[in-house]
Amino acid sequence: MKGFFTFGLLLFTVLPAIAQEIETPNNKTADSLFVVQHEAYAHHSFETARELLKTALLNKRMARSYEPHYELGDAEFALENFEAAAKAYAKAIQLAENQVKTINGPKQGLERSLARIEYIKEEKERESQIDTALLKGLKKDVPYSNEAEELTQFPIYEGCEIGSYVDMKRCMNQALALFIVRNFKSNLANRVNLYGRLPIEVNFTVDPTGALTNVKAKSLNPQLEHEALLLISLVPQMKPGLVGDKTVSVNYLQRILFVIE
């Protein structure tokens, strides 16, 4: 509650200055805008953060610093404007080369923005291929969903070998969620300046050998996605799913919700 009160007070204090200097904010106003957008982003007011940053960047001194471009990338990323995010991260990387020693954040942001653009492209292509196959009356060879009724054995996570189909599936859901939560960097959410509910969605395919492939992650911040992908790469190989006696590929979706106060 205190954080929201502070955020509201900052907006009340700074917004009148924005109205007066919207064309070219002076250094003091630009600095104030940068502080307020930081709070706006932390409390998931991403559109407000973006607009405040765009105004602050009209100031020449602010525009020469890598940080506002980096944080603009984060705001655009959270709004799923991935092309705009990639552009902002690229600018931050360009400026940061002469300002700081490490630029992992902007680099991860650019990497994840390009990945999310590719996800969208792949999804559209997949939907188009399925639609074409249906129109032609063809059977499209795609991985089974983890909800598919045809599965006679769900992919088995280490330690979940005993019980019914439903028991093994529930065990895998719980074990995988616990693995991610236990190994997730506890300070990462604070480092990316986000509070409240932080959903992370991980999608992957358990192939016929039990290996995890085609791993994808979605979240509000690229560093959260990067960490989720790293953790999934450490998950032990599973026993593959079965349809009858045949091993098959199975798509799996795991959702995790972190709450940071």
Please tell me the distance from the alpha carbon of residue 85 to that of residue 68, in angstroms, as a whole number: 12
Average pLDDT of span 105-109: 94
Place of tokens 């940061």: 96
Residue 136: inside a domain: no
Nearest alpha-carbon partner for 152 in 237, 238, 236, 248: 248
108 and 181 assigned to the same domain: no
Residue 192 burial (CB < 10 Å; 0-12/13-18/19+)?
buried
**Per-residue pLDDT tens over the stretch 11-56:** 545 555 554 445 788 999 999 999 999 999 999 999 999 999 999 9
Residue 125: inside a domain: no
pLDDT at 169: 83
Type of residue at 173: N
Task: Write out the two tokens for 90.
Answer: 């690229």
Residue 85: inside a domain: yes
| Boundaries of domain holding 43 | 2-112
Tell me the torsion sign for CA atoms 37, 40, 44, 45.
negative
**Per-residue pLDDT tens over the stretch 204-247:** 999 999 999 999 999 999 999 999 999 999 988 999 988 888 99
Residue 35: inside a domain: yes
158 and 69 assigned to the same domain: no
pLDDT at 134: 52
15 and 78 assigned to the same domain: yes
CATH code assigned at 28: 1.25.40.10
Query: How far is C-alpha 84 from the geometric centre of its chain's CA atoms?
Result: 15
Domain count for the chain: 2
170 and 67 assigned to the same domain: no
> Which three-class secondary structure state does DSSP give residue 16?
helix
Query: How far is C-alpha 135 from the geometric centre of its chain's CA atoms?
Result: 34
Q: Which of 165-182 are b and which e, b meaning 16 or more Cβ less than 10 Å from the residue's Cβ?
A: eeebbebbbeebeebbee
CATH code assigned at 189: 3.30.1150
174 and 78 assigned to the same domain: no
Type of residue at 217: A
